[in-house]
Amino acid sequence: MYDYCTALKLERHDNGVLVLTLDNPPTNAVNTALHDDLRRVLEDVNTDAQTKVLVLTGAGEKAFCAGGDIEEMQRLLSDPAGAVHGFLEARRLLQAYLRLEKPIIARINGHAIGLGATLALFCDLAYAVEGVRIGDPHVAVGFAAGDGGALIWPQLIGYMKAREFLLTGDPVLSQDAAAMGLINRAVPRETLDETAFGMADRLAAGASVAINLTKQAINLPLRRHLEGMLDASVWYEAISAFSADHREAVSAFVEKRSPKFTGR
């Protein structure tokens, strides 16, 4: 059913748990292929009778996902049409998350940064390794946090706390993220599988019709609220993609120096 996947690794468990692994070493940064694979799976899994619960994780132990691919950002600086297409695809990915009818659990095995944090925080449940960082530093690369961060962080931890993290780009340790309600729990690495897959197995063994409908009922206000804001939020980020500050941030990253922002 998911033969189109070339960048996203899928593993199906006999009990109806489908594991989605972001696999782009060394940091599982999201390129176009990975982005498209994930969006298509989230759309198609609603009609997959064999799947009851999804688990989203990253390959290895260093990173769950480090966000957007900097090489792709550099390429898109000279490809405006490609950049616009990318932001339209970002909107479709978030819509797929919001319209997903089955539970999805984030197994945060390493740092979750930028888009990586968004992918984790849009899940229904999130369990992380102690000591890893969760952050949305879009502003550090001259981007507005329009691909989901500015939408989901305030819903989870409130506007005051969300502003502090999103306007500075500062990350939060997983233990602190759990304490403030950004994620469910931070656990030692050796118990991450027991925690994340234990919950997945429990939900897969439950009354799926009731669980799925309860999940949708819980998320209905969030879906109505966020879907009405997606277009504007994504286009705010698109506008920032054509700023001089974003171009400077990408150049500085490639040249391994601190960016010099001019506010343009």
Cα–Cα distance for residue pair 12/227, rounded to 1 Å: 30
| Residue 264 within any structural domain of the chain | no
- pLDDT band at residue 122 under the 50/70/90 scheme: very high
| Residue 215 within any structural domain of the chain | no
Angstrom distances, CA of residue 251 to CA of 49, 213, 259 = 47, 47, 8
| Residue 49 within any structural domain of the chain | yes
Please check the confidence at residue 82 and state whether its pLDDT lies above 90. no
Cα–Cα distance for residue pair 77/248, rounded to 1 Å: 11
| Residue 86 within any structural domain of the chain | yes
Count how many domains the chain has.
1
Q: What is the pLDDT of residues 149-187, one digit of tens each?
A: 999 999 999 999 999 999 999 999 999 999 999 999 999
| Residue 2 within any structural domain of the chain | no
Burial of 72 (0-12, 13-18, 19+ CB in 10 A): middle
Please check the confidence at residue 207 and state whether its pLDDT lies above 70. yes
| Residue 208 within any structural domain of the chain | no
Burial of 12 (0-12, 13-18, 19+ CB in 10 A): middle
Q: Write the DSSP symbol of residue 22.
A: E
81 versus 184: the higher-pLDDT residue is 184
Domain range spanning residue 236? 8-189+228-254
- Output the pTM of the full model: 0.94
| Residue 139 within any structural domain of the chain | yes
End-to-end CA distance of the chain: 46
Do residues 89 and 68 lie in contact, with contact meaning Cβ atoms separated by under 8 Å?
no
Residue 168's CB is within 10 A of a number of other CB atoms, namely 13
Q: What does the pLDDT read at residue 146? A: 85
Q: Lowest-confidence range among 64-78, 166-180, 195-209?
A: 64-78
CATH number of the domain to which 90 belongs: 3.90.226.10
| Residue 23 within any structural domain of the chain | yes
How confident is the model over 30-51, as a mean pLDDT?
A: 95
For the chain, helix, strand, coil in percent to 5 are 55, 15, 30
